Copies of this chain bind each other. A is one copy, B any other.
């Protein structure tokens, strides 16, 4: 849970600082909503159920959400005209898949969604990808750990036709591109033959296959191919590379011939984030889906977004040793009570934990402190101070008979072992002050 909290908090913090607003929807929707985007075949992958019959015998079919995009599309379609553009939304929903759990794929998971709607420019594509990369950097991942491969449906199609592809072979080309780095030469040639490629097309795909973006120390081969794509294709591709470089993210992202993603869904820019060191797993992915809001009954509305799940990300962060050493919140104060009565300690603890409001009661001016005490029955101060130290608290507060008789308690800095006495009557103020330095 501490790891999940860390992941969620990081996603949220990065989303907010890029100007995105958090949204969410219900955990389950009408089953039909998921058929709109994915067709009837999706049903077997969903946890779905029926409502009880109403008085007319009608039952509703519901499904636990497998993803957030249909909910987002429904929400935007319903309110499209009233929302200022661009709409910059993020969400961190729990999602569900009715499949056998395996490493990297669980039945229940959390997926970060980031979307910009109402802005059709490539600048929005770059802004969206930048959020994704900034989050991965925030987790401590570098360009040595991950890479972003991106592509663009329209620019790629234009380029291929300029370079070697027959215009009526576009659909076949994407079948080949989807397997570009997965098949060896022999299997790729076989696939090209099955799809009716000409010798020129086969040779063209051979060149593309020779470029593996994950090893792009040298871009000569790629640049030669882009040259053959013609300026109307290679121009915007190179410009997007410059934009990512301007955002300080050039080392993370490369144009990648082999990034295709869902053909029915994405309409232009697409990208995928890969684990560079390990099994080349996809950590995140997204792209432009300019037709979806219309499909859900809304107006024409350009849109770009991505999703990142917690399951693969957590595996990756563990493998790379990128999780912070301590994920649990660190206590501020540990109250050591050497008295027989718990009264003084409980009064002090409660006062330390309480927030202080301004006199108008409009705002908290001093938040309560994370304060602990021991549940052991011992009054052995040495043992209790040991427990205070191992709790990670910054400050120990000792309430003991001799000091109390003089109206004081002892504060002990658990880092430098420095001690001093303060009047019990001003203990709360003194402890807050000691923690501020």
Interface of A toward B, CB cutoff 8 Å: 1-2, 4-5, 13-14, 16-19, 21-24, 26-28, 44, 47-49, 51-52, 62, 64, 85-86, 94, 96, 98, 108, 119, 123, 126, 130, 134, 137-138, 140, 142, 243, 246-249, 324, 328-329, 331, 342-343, 346-347, 350-351, 353-355, 357, 361, 363-364, 367-372, 375
Residues of B within 8 A of A14 (CB): 368
Whether the pair B134, A96 counts as a contact (CB closer than 8 A) is no
Jot down 24 A-B pairs with beta carbons below 8 A, ordered by A: A1-B21, A13-B367, A17-B369, A18-B353, A18-B371, A19-B372, A26-B108, A27-B94, A27-B108, A28-B47, A47-B62, A119-B375, A123-B342, A123-B346, A130-B350, A134-B350, A134-B368, A140-B357, A140-B361, A246-B346, A247-B346, A247-B347, A247-B350, A248-B354
Residues of B within 8 A of A324 (CB): 363
Q: Which 8 A-B pairs have the closest CB atoms?
A: A49-B49, A247-B350, A17-B370, A19-B372, A246-B347, A16-B329, A1-B22, A17-B353
Residues of B within 8 A of A2 (CB): 22
In whole angstroms, what is the CA distance A275 to B67 when docked?
38
Chain B: CB-nearest residue to A52: B98
A355's partner among B5, B16, B138, B343 (CB-CB below 8 A) is B138
Excluding A17-B353, A19-B372, A28-B64, 19 further A-B contacts by CB distance (< 8 Å) are A1-B21, A17-B368, A17-B370, A18-B371, A19-B331, A27-B96, A44-B52, A86-B375, A94-B94, A134-B353, A134-B354, A137-B354, A246-B343, A246-B347, A246-B350, A247-B350, A248-B347, A248-B351, A324-B363
In whole angstroms, what is the CA distance A329 to B9 when docked?
14
Chain B: CB-nearest residue to A243: B346
Chain B: CB-nearest residue to A352: B17
Residues of B within 8 A of A134 (CB): 350, 353-354, 368
Number of copies of chain A assembled together: 2
In the assembled complex, how far is the CB of residue A21 from the closest CB belonging to chain B, in whole angstroms? 7
Known: A27-B108, A48-B49. Is A371-B22 also a contact (CB below 8 A)?
no
In whole angstroms, what is the CA distance A92 to B22 when docked?
18
In the complex, which of the residues A142, A343, A375 has the most CB atoms of chain B within 10 Å of its own CB atom?
A375
Residues of B within 8 A of A375 (CB): 85-86, 119
In the complex, which of the residues A142, A347, A351 has the most CB atoms of chain B within 10 Å of its own CB atom?
A347
In the assembled complex, how far is the CB of residue A136 from the closest CB belonging to chain B, in whole angstroms? 12
In whole angstroms, what is the CA distance A119 to B329 when docked?
23
A27's partner among B27, B48, B142, B368 (CB-CB below 8 A) is B27
In whole angstroms, what is the CA distance A49 to B64 when docked?
11
Residues of B within 8 A of A18 (CB): 353, 371
Residues of B within 8 A of A140 (CB): 357, 361
In whole angstroms, what is the CA distance A47 to B86 when docked?
37
Residues of B within 8 A of A354 (CB): 134, 137, 248
In whole angstroms, what is the CA distance A115 to B286 when docked?
41
Chain B: CB-nearest residue to A245: B347
Chain B: CB-nearest residue to A13: B367
Residues of B within 8 A of A52 (CB): 44, 98
In the assembled complex, how far is the CB of residue A191 from the closest CB belonging to chain B, in whole angstroms? 33
Residues of B within 8 A of A347 (CB): 246-248
Residues of B within 8 A of A331 (CB): 19
In the assembled complex, how far is the CB of residue A131 from the closest CB belonging to chain B, in whole angstroms? 9
Chain B: CB-nearest residue to A249: B350
Known: A21-B328, A49-B48, A119-B375. Is A16-B138 also a contact (CB below 8 A)?
no
In the complex, which of the residues A23, A243, A354 has the most CB atoms of chain B within 10 Å of its own CB atom?
A354
Residues of B within 8 A of A44 (CB): 52
Chain B: CB-nearest residue to A49: B49
Residues of B within 8 A of A126 (CB): 346
In the assembled complex, how far is the CB of residue A148 from the closest CB belonging to chain B, in whole angstroms? 15
Chain B: CB-nearest residue to A47: B49
